[in-house]
Chain A
Protein backbone atom coordinates (compact mmCIF):
# COMPACT_ATOMS: atom_id res chain seq x y z
CA UNK A 1 0.00 0.00 0.00
CA UNK A 2 1.18 3.52 -0.79
CA UNK A 3 2.72 5.32 2.24
CA UNK A 4 0.31 8.25 2.03
CA UNK A 5 -2.77 6.02 1.88
CA UNK A 6 -1.48 3.86 4.75
CA UNK A 7 -0.81 6.95 6.91
CA UNK A 8 -4.24 8.39 6.06
CA UNK A 9 -5.93 5.14 7.11
CA UNK A 10 -4.03 5.06 10.40
CA UNK A 11 -5.05 8.68 11.08
CA UNK A 12 -8.69 7.87 10.27
CA UNK A 13 -8.70 5.04 12.85
CA UNK A 14 -7.01 7.25 15.46
CA UNK A 15 -9.53 10.03 14.81
CA UNK A 16 -12.47 7.62 15.39
CA UNK A 17 -10.87 6.54 18.69
CA UNK A 18 -10.12 10.12 19.72
CA UNK A 19 -13.65 11.39 19.06
CA UNK A 20 -14.99 8.77 21.46
CA UNK A 21 -12.59 9.94 24.17
CA UNK A 22 -12.74 13.67 23.46
CA UNK A 23 -14.84 14.43 26.54
CA UNK A 24 -12.07 13.00 28.74
CA UNK A 25 -9.83 15.97 28.02
CA UNK A 26 -10.15 18.37 30.92
CA UNK A 27 -7.04 20.39 30.24
CA UNK A 28 -7.81 24.10 30.32
CA UNK A 29 -7.31 25.92 27.01
CA UNK A 30 -4.67 28.63 26.85
CA UNK A 31 -7.26 31.27 25.89
CA UNK A 32 -9.41 30.37 28.90
CA UNK A 33 -6.32 30.48 31.09
CA UNK A 34 -5.51 33.97 29.81
CA UNK A 35 -8.94 35.21 30.87
CA UNK A 36 -8.10 34.16 34.44
CA UNK A 37 -4.95 36.27 34.21
CA UNK A 38 -7.11 39.43 34.03
CA UNK A 39 -5.26 40.62 30.93
CA UNK A 40 -2.53 42.08 33.12
CA UNK A 41 1.02 42.22 31.89
CA UNK A 42 2.85 39.07 32.88
CA UNK A 43 6.37 40.38 32.49
CA UNK A 44 8.51 40.09 35.59
CA UNK A 45 10.11 43.06 37.33
CA UNK A 46 13.66 43.60 36.10
CA UNK A 47 15.71 45.64 38.58
CA UNK A 48 18.59 46.23 36.15
CA UNK A 49 16.31 47.55 33.41
CA UNK A 50 14.50 49.73 35.93
CA UNK A 51 17.77 51.18 37.24
CA UNK A 52 18.97 51.86 33.69
CA UNK A 53 15.68 53.60 32.72
CA UNK A 54 15.89 55.64 35.91
CA UNK A 55 19.43 56.74 35.04
CA UNK A 56 18.26 57.91 31.59
CA UNK A 57 15.33 59.83 33.10
CA UNK A 58 17.61 61.50 35.66
CA UNK A 59 20.27 62.44 33.12
CA UNK A 60 17.79 63.87 30.62
CA UNK A 61 15.29 65.50 32.95
CA UNK A 62 16.66 68.99 32.40
CA UNK A 63 16.00 70.56 28.99
CA UNK A 64 18.31 73.32 27.82
CA UNK A 65 16.54 76.70 27.55
CA UNK A 66 18.78 78.06 24.87
CA UNK A 67 20.13 76.43 21.72
CA UNK A 68 22.66 78.34 19.65
CA UNK A 69 21.59 78.82 16.07
CA UNK A 70 24.05 77.49 13.48
CA UNK A 71 26.20 79.35 10.94
CA UNK A 72 24.86 81.06 7.84
CA UNK A 73 26.15 82.84 4.79
CA UNK A 74 27.04 86.52 5.23
CA UNK A 75 24.98 87.70 2.23
CA UNK A 76 21.76 86.65 4.03
CA UNK A 77 22.71 88.55 7.21
CA UNK A 78 19.69 90.82 7.37
CA UNK A 79 17.16 88.06 6.68
CA UNK A 80 18.83 85.75 9.19
CA UNK A 81 18.89 88.46 11.83
CA UNK A 82 15.17 89.04 11.37
CA UNK A 83 14.36 85.33 11.56
CA UNK A 84 16.56 84.96 14.64
CA UNK A 85 14.75 87.85 16.26
CA UNK A 86 11.37 86.23 15.57
CA UNK A 87 12.66 82.96 16.97
CA UNK A 88 14.04 84.67 20.09
CA UNK A 89 10.75 86.47 20.75
CA UNK A 90 8.73 83.26 20.27
CA UNK A 91 11.18 81.41 22.45
CA UNK A 92 10.91 83.98 25.21
CA UNK A 93 7.12 84.14 25.33
CA UNK A 94 6.06 80.67 24.18
CA UNK A 95 8.81 78.09 24.30
CA UNK A 96 10.65 79.24 27.43
CA UNK A 97 7.58 78.97 29.76
CA UNK A 98 6.78 75.54 28.25
CA UNK A 99 10.32 74.33 28.84
CA UNK A 100 10.20 75.59 32.44
CA UNK A 101 6.96 73.72 33.00
CA UNK A 102 8.29 70.56 31.31
CA UNK A 103 11.49 70.72 33.35
CA UNK A 104 9.42 70.87 36.49
CA UNK A 105 7.43 67.78 35.40
CA UNK A 106 10.62 65.97 34.46
CA UNK A 107 12.24 66.82 37.77
CA UNK A 108 9.29 65.50 39.74
CA UNK A 109 9.01 62.37 37.57
CA UNK A 110 12.69 61.63 38.11
CA UNK A 111 12.32 62.24 41.85
CA UNK A 112 9.20 60.08 41.96
CA UNK A 113 11.05 57.18 40.32
CA UNK A 114 13.94 57.74 42.71
CA UNK A 115 11.48 57.30 45.59
CA UNK A 116 10.17 54.08 44.02
CA UNK A 117 13.74 52.88 43.66
CA UNK A 118 14.49 53.61 47.33
CA UNK A 119 11.24 51.92 48.33
CA UNK A 120 12.18 48.83 46.27
CA UNK A 121 15.63 48.76 47.90
CA UNK A 122 14.01 48.89 51.35
CA UNK A 123 11.59 46.15 50.36
CA UNK A 124 14.50 44.09 49.08
CA UNK A 125 16.36 44.50 52.40
CA UNK A 126 13.24 43.58 54.37
CA UNK A 127 12.59 40.64 52.12
CA UNK A 128 16.20 39.45 52.55
CA UNK A 129 15.93 39.79 56.34
CA UNK A 130 12.63 37.93 56.32
CA UNK A 131 14.00 35.16 54.20
CA UNK A 132 17.03 34.82 56.54
CA UNK A 133 14.67 34.71 59.51
CA UNK A 134 12.52 32.15 57.72
CA UNK A 135 15.58 30.01 57.03
CA UNK A 136 16.76 30.19 60.64
CA UNK A 137 13.25 29.38 61.96
CA UNK A 138 13.08 26.45 59.59
CA UNK A 139 16.49 25.26 60.78
CA UNK A 140 15.39 25.56 64.41
CA UNK A 141 12.20 23.67 63.67
CA UNK A 142 14.20 20.94 61.96
CA UNK A 143 16.59 20.76 64.94
CA UNK A 144 13.65 20.57 67.34
CA UNK A 145 12.14 17.78 65.26
CA UNK A 146 15.44 15.90 65.24
CA UNK A 147 15.76 16.35 69.05
CA UNK A 148 12.25 15.14 69.65
CA UNK A 149 12.85 12.10 67.42
CA UNK A 150 16.07 11.37 69.33
CA UNK A 151 14.25 11.78 72.67
CA UNK A 152 11.55 9.39 71.52
CA UNK A 153 14.19 6.80 70.50
CA UNK A 154 15.92 7.18 73.88
CA UNK A 155 12.60 6.73 75.69
CA UNK A 156 11.92 3.58 73.69
CA UNK A 157 15.39 2.25 74.47
CA UNK A 158 14.83 3.10 78.16
CA UNK A 159 11.56 1.17 78.17
CA UNK A 160 13.31 -1.78 76.58
CA UNK A 161 16.09 -1.60 79.19
CA UNK A 162 13.51 -1.39 82.00
CA UNK A 163 11.77 -4.48 80.61
CA UNK A 164 15.11 -6.27 80.31
CA UNK A 165 15.95 -5.22 83.85
CA UNK A 166 12.63 -6.54 85.13
CA UNK A 167 13.23 -9.87 83.37
CA UNK A 168 16.73 -10.10 84.81
CA UNK A 169 15.44 -9.35 88.32
CA UNK A 170 12.83 -12.11 87.96
CA UNK A 171 15.56 -14.49 86.76
CA UNK A 172 17.79 -13.54 89.71
CA UNK A 173 14.90 -14.03 92.10
CA UNK A 174 14.08 -17.38 90.55
CA UNK A 175 17.74 -18.56 90.68
CA UNK A 176 18.00 -17.21 94.28
CA UNK A 177 14.88 -19.15 95.26
CA UNK A 178 16.14 -22.38 93.69
CA UNK A 179 19.52 -22.06 95.47
CA UNK A 180 17.82 -21.50 98.80
CA UNK A 181 15.79 -24.66 98.23
CA UNK A 182 18.92 -26.65 97.43
CA UNK A 183 20.64 -25.38 100.65
CA UNK A 184 17.64 -26.18 102.92
CA UNK A 185 15.82 -29.13 101.31
CA UNK A 186 14.00 -29.90 104.59
CA UNK A 187 12.34 -26.61 104.80
CA UNK A 188 10.70 -27.31 101.48
CA UNK A 189 9.65 -30.80 102.38
CA UNK A 190 8.21 -29.78 105.73
Chain B
Protein backbone atom coordinates (compact mmCIF):
# COMPACT_ATOMS: atom_id res chain seq x y z
CA UNK B 1 0.00 0.00 0.00
CA UNK B 2 1.24 3.47 -0.80
CA UNK B 3 -0.06 6.87 0.22
CA UNK B 4 0.36 9.62 -2.34
CA UNK B 5 -0.45 13.30 -2.15
CA UNK B 6 -1.84 15.22 -5.13
CA UNK B 7 -1.86 18.99 -5.43
CA UNK B 8 -2.50 20.99 -8.64
CA UNK B 9 0.63 23.13 -8.17
CA UNK B 10 3.40 22.67 -5.64
CA UNK B 11 4.67 26.17 -4.85
CA UNK B 12 7.90 26.97 -3.09
CA UNK B 13 7.61 28.57 0.33
CA UNK B 14 3.83 29.00 0.38
CA UNK B 15 1.61 27.64 3.16
CA UNK B 16 0.09 24.75 1.18
CA UNK B 17 3.43 23.76 -0.39
CA UNK B 18 5.10 23.60 3.04
CA UNK B 19 2.14 21.66 4.45
CA UNK B 20 2.30 19.06 1.66
CA UNK B 21 6.02 18.54 2.28
CA UNK B 22 5.47 18.34 6.07
CA UNK B 23 2.84 15.60 5.55
CA UNK B 24 5.17 13.72 3.20
CA UNK B 25 7.83 13.62 5.93
CA UNK B 26 5.30 12.36 8.49
CA UNK B 27 4.24 9.59 6.10
CA UNK B 28 7.87 8.61 5.53
CA UNK B 29 8.46 8.52 9.28
CA UNK B 30 5.38 6.29 9.68
CA UNK B 31 7.02 3.91 7.19
CA UNK B 32 4.66 4.39 4.23
CA UNK B 33 5.79 4.47 0.64
CA UNK B 34 4.85 7.98 -0.48
CA UNK B 35 5.24 10.61 -3.20
CA UNK B 36 3.82 13.97 -4.29
CA UNK B 37 2.16 14.39 -7.71
CA UNK B 38 1.29 17.73 -9.29
CA UNK B 39 0.84 19.47 -12.65
CA UNK B 40 3.81 21.72 -11.98
CA UNK B 41 6.25 22.45 -9.20
CA UNK B 42 8.59 25.32 -8.47
CA UNK B 43 12.19 24.88 -9.66
CA UNK B 44 13.49 25.65 -6.15
CA UNK B 45 11.76 22.58 -4.68
CA UNK B 46 14.45 20.05 -3.84
CA UNK B 47 12.25 17.54 -2.00
CA UNK B 48 12.72 14.03 -3.47
CA UNK B 49 9.81 11.99 -4.88
CA UNK B 50 7.96 14.92 -6.42
CA UNK B 51 6.56 13.93 -9.83
CA UNK B 52 4.34 15.32 -12.56
CA UNK B 53 0.79 13.94 -12.82
CA UNK B 54 1.25 12.18 -16.22
CA UNK B 55 3.82 9.89 -14.59
CA UNK B 56 1.25 8.63 -12.05
CA UNK B 57 0.74 4.89 -12.53
CA UNK B 58 -2.51 3.07 -11.87
CA UNK B 59 -3.42 2.98 -8.21
CA UNK B 60 -4.41 -0.17 -6.34
CA UNK B 61 -7.70 -0.28 -4.36
CA UNK B 62 -5.70 -0.42 -1.13
CA UNK B 63 -3.72 2.74 -1.94
CA UNK B 64 -4.58 6.08 -0.37
CA UNK B 65 -4.69 9.41 -2.17
CA UNK B 66 -4.52 12.63 -0.14
CA UNK B 67 -5.82 15.44 -2.32
CA UNK B 68 -5.24 19.10 -1.45
CA UNK B 69 -8.25 21.14 -2.55
CA UNK B 70 -7.68 24.86 -2.87
CA UNK B 71 -8.55 25.98 -6.39
CA UNK B 72 -10.57 25.20 -9.53
CA UNK B 73 -8.69 22.51 -11.45
CA UNK B 74 -9.56 19.65 -13.76
CA UNK B 75 -7.76 17.44 -11.24
CA UNK B 76 -10.54 17.97 -8.68
CA UNK B 77 -12.99 15.70 -10.48
CA UNK B 78 -10.34 13.33 -11.90
CA UNK B 79 -9.10 12.46 -8.41
CA UNK B 80 -12.65 11.79 -7.24
CA UNK B 81 -12.91 9.02 -9.85
CA UNK B 82 -9.76 7.18 -8.68
CA UNK B 83 -10.49 3.63 -7.60
CA UNK B 84 -8.70 3.81 -4.28
CA UNK B 85 -9.22 5.27 -0.81
CA UNK B 86 -9.36 9.05 -0.89
CA UNK B 87 -8.79 11.83 1.64
CA UNK B 88 -9.41 15.49 0.89
CA UNK B 89 -7.52 18.22 2.73
CA UNK B 90 -9.65 21.31 2.31
CA UNK B 91 -7.75 24.62 2.34
CA UNK B 92 -10.81 26.64 1.29
CA UNK B 93 -11.57 28.44 -1.96
CA UNK B 94 -11.94 32.22 -2.11
CA UNK B 95 -15.51 33.28 -2.99
CA UNK B 96 -15.52 34.42 -6.65
CA UNK B 97 -17.15 37.82 -6.01
CA UNK B 98 -13.89 39.15 -4.52
CA UNK B 99 -12.18 38.83 -7.91
CA UNK B 100 -14.81 40.70 -9.92
CA UNK B 101 -12.71 43.84 -9.62
CA UNK B 102 -9.60 42.00 -10.78
CA UNK B 103 -10.01 39.35 -13.43
CA UNK B 104 -12.82 37.31 -14.99
CA UNK B 105 -10.42 34.35 -15.28
CA UNK B 106 -9.96 34.28 -11.52
CA UNK B 107 -13.70 34.63 -10.96
CA UNK B 108 -14.24 31.60 -13.21
CA UNK B 109 -11.45 29.65 -11.53
CA UNK B 110 -12.96 30.18 -8.07
CA UNK B 111 -16.50 29.48 -9.35
CA UNK B 112 -15.31 26.21 -10.87
CA UNK B 113 -13.43 25.34 -7.70
CA UNK B 114 -16.51 25.83 -5.52
CA UNK B 115 -18.69 23.93 -8.01
CA UNK B 116 -16.17 21.06 -7.88
CA UNK B 117 -16.17 20.99 -4.07
CA UNK B 118 -19.98 20.86 -4.05
CA UNK B 119 -20.09 18.17 -6.75
CA UNK B 120 -17.59 16.01 -4.90
CA UNK B 121 -19.61 15.78 -1.68
CA UNK B 122 -19.66 12.10 -0.71
CA UNK B 123 -16.93 11.14 -3.20
CA UNK B 124 -14.11 11.30 -0.64
CA UNK B 125 -13.92 8.80 2.21
CA UNK B 126 -12.61 11.33 4.70
CA UNK B 127 -11.85 15.06 4.88
CA UNK B 128 -9.41 17.16 6.87
CA UNK B 129 -10.09 20.89 7.23
CA UNK B 130 -7.42 23.44 8.21
CA UNK B 131 -9.88 25.18 10.53
CA UNK B 132 -13.37 24.81 11.98
CA UNK B 133 -14.39 27.55 9.55
CA UNK B 134 -13.30 25.33 6.64
CA UNK B 135 -15.09 22.35 8.19
CA UNK B 136 -18.32 24.32 8.41
CA UNK B 137 -17.80 25.43 4.81
CA UNK B 138 -17.71 21.77 3.73
CA UNK B 139 -20.78 20.90 5.80
CA UNK B 140 -22.64 23.83 4.17
CA UNK B 141 -21.74 22.31 0.79
CA UNK B 142 -23.30 18.95 1.67
CA UNK B 143 -20.40 17.05 3.25
CA UNK B 144 -20.94 14.69 6.17
CA UNK B 145 -19.65 16.44 9.29
CA UNK B 146 -18.81 13.09 10.95
CA UNK B 147 -16.24 12.42 8.26
CA UNK B 148 -14.43 15.75 8.68
CA UNK B 149 -11.71 16.45 11.25
CA UNK B 150 -9.95 19.74 11.89
CA UNK B 151 -6.14 19.63 11.79
CA UNK B 152 -4.30 22.93 11.47
CA UNK B 153 -1.74 23.62 8.77
CA UNK B 154 1.71 22.58 9.91
CA UNK B 155 4.12 25.49 10.06
CA UNK B 156 7.79 24.47 10.01
CA UNK B 157 8.78 26.70 12.93
CA UNK B 158 12.43 25.63 12.87
CA UNK B 159 12.80 27.18 9.41
CA UNK B 160 12.12 30.58 10.98
CA UNK B 161 15.28 30.26 13.09
CA UNK B 162 17.44 30.70 9.98
CA UNK B 163 19.41 33.89 9.41
CA UNK B 164 17.40 36.88 8.17
CA UNK B 165 18.62 39.11 5.36
CA UNK B 166 20.81 41.72 7.11
CA UNK B 167 20.53 44.23 4.25
CA UNK B 168 16.72 44.25 4.65
CA UNK B 169 17.06 44.72 8.43
CA UNK B 170 19.47 47.63 7.91
CA UNK B 171 17.11 49.19 5.37
CA UNK B 172 14.06 49.15 7.65
CA UNK B 173 15.79 49.85 11.00
CA UNK B 174 15.82 53.60 10.42
CA UNK B 175 13.66 54.93 13.25
CA UNK B 176 10.42 54.61 11.28
CA UNK B 177 7.45 52.66 12.66
CA UNK B 178 7.03 49.60 10.42
CA UNK B 179 3.49 48.30 9.90
CA UNK B 180 3.63 44.95 8.14
CA UNK B 181 1.28 42.71 6.20
CA UNK B 182 2.38 39.52 4.44
CA UNK B 183 0.25 37.91 1.75
CA UNK B 184 -0.12 37.99 -2.03
CA UNK B 185 -1.89 41.03 -3.45
CA UNK B 186 -5.44 39.72 -3.91
CA UNK B 187 -8.80 41.49 -3.50
CA UNK B 188 -9.92 39.30 -0.56
CA UNK B 189 -6.90 40.46 1.47
CA UNK B 190 -8.27 44.01 1.37
CA UNK B 191 -5.04 45.92 0.87
CA UNK B 192 -7.15 49.02 0.22
CA UNK B 193 -8.36 49.04 3.84
CA UNK B 194 -4.79 48.88 5.12
CA UNK B 195 -3.80 51.71 2.78
CA UNK B 196 -6.72 53.87 3.96
CA UNK B 197 -5.94 53.22 7.63
CA UNK B 198 -2.27 53.95 7.08
CA UNK B 199 -3.07 57.20 5.24
CA UNK B 200 -4.98 58.41 8.32
CA UNK B 201 -2.35 57.14 10.76
CA UNK B 202 0.54 58.77 8.93
CA UNK B 203 -1.25 62.09 8.48
CA UNK B 204 -2.74 62.44 11.94
CA UNK B 205 -0.71 60.35 14.35
CA UNK B 206 2.75 59.32 13.19
CA UNK B 207 4.35 60.87 10.08
CA UNK B 208 7.48 58.76 10.64
CA UNK B 209 5.86 55.48 9.70
CA UNK B 210 5.66 53.11 6.75
CA UNK B 211 3.36 50.35 5.52
CA UNK B 212 5.10 47.29 4.12
CA UNK B 213 2.89 45.10 1.94
CA UNK B 214 4.98 41.97 1.41
CA UNK B 215 3.81 39.36 -1.05
CA UNK B 216 3.77 38.57 -4.72
CA UNK B 217 1.76 40.67 -7.14
CA UNK B 218 1.12 40.84 -10.85
CA UNK B 219 2.10 44.24 -12.31
CA UNK B 220 -0.57 43.79 -14.98
CA UNK B 221 -3.46 42.94 -12.66
CA UNK B 222 -6.35 45.39 -12.43
CA UNK B 223 -6.47 45.19 -8.63
CA UNK B 224 -2.79 46.03 -8.17
CA UNK B 225 -3.04 48.95 -10.58
CA UNK B 226 -6.18 50.23 -8.85
CA UNK B 227 -4.30 50.10 -5.54
CA UNK B 228 -1.33 52.09 -6.87
CA UNK B 229 -3.75 54.65 -8.39
CA UNK B 230 -5.56 54.85 -5.01
CA UNK B 231 -2.27 55.50 -3.20
CA UNK B 232 -1.50 58.23 -5.72
CA UNK B 233 -4.95 59.75 -5.21
CA UNK B 234 -4.51 59.78 -1.42
CA UNK B 235 -1.06 61.32 -1.84
CA UNK B 236 0.37 59.10 0.88
CA UNK B 237 4.04 58.15 0.86
CA UNK B 238 6.03 55.27 2.41
CA UNK B 239 3.76 52.44 1.25
CA UNK B 240 5.95 49.69 -0.13
CA UNK B 241 4.93 46.68 -2.20
CA UNK B 242 7.87 44.31 -1.88
CA UNK B 243 6.66 41.88 -4.57
CA UNK B 244 8.06 38.35 -4.27
CA UNK B 245 10.76 38.36 -1.61
CA UNK B 246 13.25 35.72 -0.46
CA UNK B 247 12.55 33.73 2.71
CA UNK B 248 15.50 35.49 4.45
CA UNK B 249 13.92 38.78 3.37
CA UNK B 250 10.57 37.81 4.92
CA UNK B 251 12.32 36.89 8.16
CA UNK B 252 13.99 40.31 8.16
CA UNK B 253 10.63 42.04 7.64
CA UNK B 254 9.13 40.25 10.64
CA UNK B 255 12.25 41.14 12.69
CA UNK B 256 11.84 44.85 11.95
CA UNK B 257 8.03 45.02 12.15
CA UNK B 258 6.48 47.03 14.99
CA UNK B 259 2.97 45.77 14.34
CA UNK B 260 1.32 43.21 12.03
CA UNK B 261 -1.91 44.49 10.50
CA UNK B 262 -4.32 42.06 8.78
CA UNK B 263 -7.65 43.38 7.47
CA UNK B 264 -8.33 40.42 5.18
CA UNK B 265 -11.95 39.44 4.63
CA UNK B 266 -11.42 35.87 3.56
CA UNK B 267 -8.93 33.43 5.07
CA UNK B 268 -9.23 29.69 5.45
CA UNK B 269 -6.46 29.72 8.06
CA UNK B 270 -3.94 32.62 7.57
CA UNK B 271 -0.40 31.33 8.15
CA UNK B 272 1.19 34.86 8.29
CA UNK B 273 -0.56 35.33 11.67
CA UNK B 274 1.38 32.35 13.02
CA UNK B 275 4.59 33.74 11.49
CA UNK B 276 4.02 37.09 13.23
CA UNK B 277 3.48 35.20 16.51
CA UNK B 278 6.80 33.38 16.02
CA UNK B 279 8.58 36.75 15.78
CA UNK B 280 6.73 38.35 18.76
CA UNK B 281 5.13 40.94 16.52
CA UNK B 282 1.89 42.26 18.06
CA UNK B 283 -1.03 41.48 15.74
CA UNK B 284 -4.07 43.59 14.94
CA UNK B 285 -6.46 41.54 12.81
CA UNK B 286 -9.96 42.01 11.46
CA UNK B 287 -12.47 39.43 12.60
CA UNK B 288 -13.46 37.48 9.49
CA UNK B 289 -13.69 33.80 8.47
CA UNK B 290 -10.96 31.72 10.13
CA UNK B 291 -8.95 34.68 11.49
CA UNK B 292 -10.49 34.80 15.02
CA UNK B 293 -10.05 31.03 15.26
CA UNK B 294 -6.38 31.18 14.29
CA UNK B 295 -5.81 34.08 16.70
CA UNK B 296 -7.52 32.03 19.45
CA UNK B 297 -8.02 35.03 21.76
CA UNK B 298 -4.47 36.33 21.36
CA UNK B 299 -3.36 39.72 19.98
CA UNK B 300 -6.12 42.15 19.05
CA UNK B 301 -9.07 41.13 16.90
CA UNK B 302 -11.23 44.07 15.81
CA UNK B 303 -14.78 44.12 14.52
CA UNK B 304 -14.54 47.50 12.84
CA UNK B 305 -12.42 48.92 10.04
CA UNK B 306 -12.74 52.62 10.85
CA UNK B 307 -9.36 54.21 9.99
CA UNK B 308 -9.64 56.50 13.05
CA UNK B 309 -10.21 53.57 15.38
CA UNK B 310 -7.55 51.36 13.79
CA UNK B 311 -4.99 54.19 13.80
CA UNK B 312 -5.55 54.73 17.50
CA UNK B 313 -5.23 50.99 18.14
CA UNK B 314 -1.93 50.92 16.22
CA UNK B 315 -0.73 53.94 18.21
CA UNK B 316 -1.67 52.26 21.50
CA UNK B 317 0.08 49.02 20.53
CA UNK B 318 3.26 50.93 19.68
CA UNK B 319 3.32 53.29 22.65
CA UNK B 320 1.59 51.41 25.47
CA UNK B 321 4.35 49.09 26.71
CA UNK B 322 1.96 47.20 29.00
CA UNK B 323 -0.53 46.51 26.21
CA UNK B 324 2.25 45.40 23.86
CA UNK B 325 3.69 43.05 26.48
CA UNK B 326 0.31 41.45 27.19
CA UNK B 327 -0.39 41.00 23.46
CA UNK B 328 2.95 39.30 22.86
CA UNK B 329 2.43 37.11 25.92
CA UNK B 330 -0.99 35.99 24.65
CA UNK B 331 0.44 35.28 21.19
CA UNK B 332 3.23 33.16 22.67
CA UNK B 333 0.64 31.08 24.53
CA UNK B 334 -1.42 30.65 21.35
CA UNK B 335 1.65 29.60 19.39
CA UNK B 336 1.96 26.53 21.62
CA UNK B 337 -1.18 25.14 19.91
CA UNK B 338 0.57 25.15 16.54
CA UNK B 339 3.71 23.29 17.56
CA UNK B 340 4.73 20.65 15.06
CA UNK B 341 4.80 17.66 17.43
CA UNK B 342 1.13 17.67 18.61
CA UNK B 343 -0.18 18.49 15.12
CA UNK B 344 1.92 15.77 13.57
CA UNK B 345 0.64 13.28 16.21
CA UNK B 346 -2.95 14.37 15.53
CA UNK B 347 -2.43 13.74 11.81
CA UNK B 348 -0.83 10.33 12.41
CA UNK B 349 -3.71 9.23 14.63
CA UNK B 350 -6.32 10.43 12.14
CA UNK B 351 -4.57 8.59 9.31
CA UNK B 352 -4.20 5.34 11.26
CA UNK B 353 -7.88 5.45 12.21
CA UNK B 354 -8.78 6.07 8.56
CA UNK B 355 -6.67 3.16 7.30
CA UNK B 356 -8.14 0.82 9.91
CA UNK B 357 -11.77 1.88 9.38
CA UNK B 358 -12.01 2.54 5.66
CA UNK B 359 -11.48 -0.72 3.86
CA UNK B 360 -9.89 -0.93 0.45
CA UNK B 361 -12.10 -0.22 -2.58
CA UNK B 362 -13.50 -3.23 -4.37
Interface residues of A (CB under 8 A from B): 3-4, 6-7, 10-11, 14-15, 17-18, 21-22, 24-25, 27-30, 33-34, 37, 41-44, 46, 49
Contact = CB atoms under 8 A, between A and B. Distances in A.
A3 B330 CA distance: 7
Interface string B214-237: 000001111001100110011000
Most buried by B among A15, A21, A30: A30
B220 A22 contact: no
A14 B195 CA distance: 20
B220 A43 contact: yes
A112 B221 CA distance: 26
A30 B229 contact: no
A22 B306 contact: yes
Contacts of A21: 308
B128 interface: no
A17 B219 CA distance: 39
A28 B320 CA distance: 29
Contacts of A27: 196, 199-200, 234, 307
A11 B297 contact: no
A44 B220 contact: yes
Given A10-B316, A11-B302, A30-B226, 13 more contacts: A3-B329, A14-B309, A14-B312, A14-B316, A15-B304, A17-B312, A25-B306, A25-B307, A27-B199, A27-B307, A28-B234, A30-B230, A44-B220
B229 A42 contact: yes
A100 to B, nearest CB: 32
Most buried by A among B225, B307, B309: B309
Interface string B85-114: 000000000000000010000000000000
B243 to A, nearest CB: 15
Given A11-B313, A30-B193, A43 B221 contact: yes
Contacts of B308: 18, 21-22, 24-25
A49 B221 CA distance: 13
Give 8 closest A-B pairs by Cβ, nearest first: A30-B192, A18-B309, A42-B225, A3-B326, A18-B308, A14-B312, A3-B330, A42-B226
B234 A43 contact: no
Contacts, number: 77
B74 to A, nearest CB: 23
Most buried by B among A6, A25, A41: A25
B327 interface: yes
Contacts of B225: 42-44
Contacts of B329: 3
Given A27-B200, A30-B230, A43-B221, A4 B312 contact: no
A87 B196 CA distance: 64
B56 interface: no
A23 B203 CA distance: 15
A14 B313 contact: yes
A3 to B, nearest CB: 4
B300 interface: yes
B204 interface: yes
A7 B297 CA distance: 10
A92 B230 CA distance: 57
Interface in B254-303: 297, 300, 302
A177 B309 CA distance: 86
A10 B222 CA distance: 39
Most buried by B among A6, A11, A37: A11
A37 B229 contact: yes
Nearest to A6: B326
Contacts of A24: 204, 308
25 contacts: A4-B330, A6-B322, A7-B326, A10-B323, A11-B300, A11-B302, A11-B313, A15-B304, A24-B204, A24-B308, A25-B307, A25-B308, A27-B199, A30-B192, A30-B193, A33-B226, A34-B101, A37-B226, A41-B222, A42-B225, A43-B221, A43-B222, A44-B220, A44-B225, A46-B220
